[in-house]
Amino acid sequence: MNLPLKQLNLSQLADTPKISTSEYDREKIDIGIVHLGPGAFHRAHQAVYTETAMNLSGGDWGICGVSLRSTTARDILVEQDNLYTLAILDKKVSYQIIGAIKEVLVASEQSNEVIARMAAASTKLVTLTITEKGYCLASDGSLDLNHKDIKHDLANPTSPVSAIGFITESLKQRKLKGINAFNVLSCDNVSGNGEKLRRAVLDYAGQFDINLQEWIDKNVAFPNSMVDSITPKTESYTIESVSKAIHLQDNWPIQREEFTQWVIDNNWQGERPDWEKVGVIFTDDVEGFEKAKLRLLNCLHSTLAYAGSLAGYETVFDVTSDKYFYQFISKLASDEIIGSFVPPKELDVKSYSHDIIQRFLNPNIRHLLAQIAFDGSQKIQMRILPTIEDNIALGRSTKLLSLSLVCWFEFICCALKEGKEIIDPMANTFANIPKLLSNDVLEVVEAFLSIESIFSQALKNNIPLKAQLVKSLIALRLSDVKKINVLIETLYE
């Protein structure tokens, strides 16, 4: 059996140039970043950019990963000196041992230690990947004061449970001690993520300390950012294959495609790692990059997740390898997505779209459609509905977008009828709408459109759109989804 992946065992790594290790002294760097939510994406993306920047320029940018509740990352990584392997699975396969994470804490068990780390003068930056649910926002974008975590934190500000509470309490302590504020950088796949996080923190601080709210408003930058790299979750086969390849036992490796992108607003204050030297784009048009990603990569991903699942496919590679599904998403991109928004001047949107679809055809990345299908009620509001709205406003077609949307409708309906678990924050809502079990397609469409937390009144009341959705769902239920080319033809009759 292999020796465990630990600092003292790195000399036992497989003798191959495809495995790289840290070029800085891990013992000498200090922690400069606290990251809330050290899941697979952070470890495959932001931590890797930081690792590469320290390899190039040094600096005290070690990372303290903070899991808000789960103990898994801490319990596994502490046994590996917080080292783990990044497996780049593309045309060429390579491995990198990442050493940027120096510490992992669990907030639910170590709240005092977390606040102390965030309040320390050495911490210059707090980053987050906590998903949109962690922002605790109401439907109008303000902080949801009735959210159970926020109610808890307002009553117990020095022992918070939410990311918002931890950020605010640690900033409060820095203010009291005369320590400069840290910047707060959201890395979540959320439109306007920095602005949304800023509002949540300011709303929270304003509930008990107006002076603190004003200090945060003046001193803390909340840049918007956009991140991208297809990162399937770690499975047992990942652990086995990586451990075999590196000749050390790594119980928490991650896998990722070679492509990676990170775009950050220019509105920065204070220090940061030399990210711009290792590929991070600092721009005045994060929104343009964000729209390109949400509408091309993410919209196509969700479309494949629901349509492909209905057709019995398991992975992105599997469904994209079907020539008819390949043609479907290519046509969806060219005919209804490109042209729905103004891309940033730095981006050739047609080439970007083509490259995205080619990324889906990477046979070494086993990206499960079921994983992409999680939390659809939230994802479609960012990935599909805005494009439909903009196309309607521009007088453009929504035929294929409507098909994409009704594939989600049918995905939910089938799960309800078959008694399958729906992993979605609105799962209970769906279960309590009897009309979603109806064989009357109009009833089903109207039932979905009536969910006010998902669909705007403008979409609900748009008669042509409703008619298109009804037509699409009828065609879907009457067709063999695997013959999606025939299904699409019916929509153009």
> Same structural domain for residues 203 and 297?
no
pLDDT of 362 higher than 90: yes
> pLDDT tens digit string along 191-207?
899 999 999 999 999 99
DSSP summary character for residue 223:
-
Q: Which of 240, 257, 283 delimits the end of a domain?
A: 283
Return d(Cα 52, Cα 221) in angstroms, integer: 24
Query: Which whole number is the average pLDDT over 271-276?
Result: 96
> Same structural domain for residues 217 and 357?
no
Q: Which of 231, 253, 283 delimits the end of a domain?
A: 283
> Same structural domain for residues 149 and 115?
yes
> Same structural domain for residues 274 and 404?
no
Out of 11-15, 47-51, 60-64, which region has the weakest mean confidence (pLDDT)?
Answer: 11-15
CA distances from 287 to 28, 129, 201, 223, 233 (A): 38, 18, 21, 11, 27
The CATH number covering residue 359 comes to 1.10.1040.10
Q: What pLDDT, on the 0 to 100 scale, is given for residue 232?
A: 83
Q: What pLDDT, on the 0 to 100 scale, is given for residue 342?
A: 92
> Same structural domain for residues 148 and 213?
yes
Confidence band (pLDDT; 50, 70, 90) for 244?
very high
> Same structural domain for residues 56 and 122?
yes
Contact call for residues 188 and 196 (beta carbons, < 8 A)? no
> pLDDT tens digit string along 392-420?
999 999 999 999 999 999 999 999 999 99
> Same structural domain for residues 122 and 247?
yes
Contact call for residues 124 and 185 (beta carbons, < 8 A)? no
**CA quadruple 55, 58, 62, 63: dihedral positive or negative?**
negative
CA distances from 448 to 311, 314, 360, 466 (A): 22, 26, 30, 11
**Tokens coding 95:** 């491995």
Q: In the chain, pLDDT over 70 holds for what percent of residues?
A: 100
> Same structural domain for residues 305 and 250?
no
pLDDT of 228 higher than 90: yes
> pLDDT tens digit string along 253-262?
999 999 999 9
Confidence band (pLDDT; 50, 70, 90) for 15?
confident
DSSP summary character for residue 22:
-
Q: Domain total for the chain?
A: 2
Q: What is the DSSP string of 270-316?
A: S---SGGGGTPEEES-HHHHHHHIIIIIIHHHHHHHHHHHHTT--BH
> Same structural domain for residues 268 and 296?
no
Contact call for residues 449 and 465 (beta carbons, < 8 A)? no
- Written as one letter, the residue type at 446 is E
Q: What pLDDT, on the 0 to 100 scale, is given for residue 132?
A: 87
Query: Which whole number is the average pLDDT over 338-348?
Result: 91
Q: What pLDDT, on the 0 to 100 scale, is given for residue 270?
A: 86
Q: What pLDDT, on the 0 to 100 scale, is given for residue 139?
A: 84
The CATH number covering residue 50 comes to 3.40.50.720
Confidence band (pLDDT; 50, 70, 90) for 464?
very high
* Structural domain that includes position 480: 286-491
pLDDT of 16 higher than 80: no
Confidence band (pLDDT; 50, 70, 90) for 265?
very high
**Tokens coding 83:** 């080292």
Query: Which whole number is the average pLDDT over 352-370?
Result: 93
> Same structural domain for residues 236 and 334?
no
pLDDT of 269 higher than 90: no
Query: Which whole number is the average pLDDT over 75-96?
Result: 94
Confidence band (pLDDT; 50, 70, 90) for 17?
confident
Query: Which whole number is the average pLDDT over 85-108?
Result: 95
Q: With left for phi above 0 and alpha for psi between -120 and 50, is residue 150 left, alpha or beta?
A: alpha
Q: What pLDDT, on the 0 to 100 scale, is given for residue 34?
A: 98
pLDDT of 480 higher than 80: yes
Q: What pLDDT, on the 0 to 100 scale, is given for residue 326?
A: 97
CA distances from 301 to 165, 247, 373 (A): 33, 34, 9
Query: Which whole number is the average pLDDT over 106-119?
Result: 97
Q: Which of 283, 316, 347 delimits the end of a domain?
A: 283
Q: What pLDDT, on the 0 to 100 scale, is given for residue 91?
A: 81
> Same structural domain for residues 306 and 246?
no
> Same structural domain for residues 268 and 299?
no
Q: In the chain, pLDDT over 90 holds for what percent of residues?
A: 90
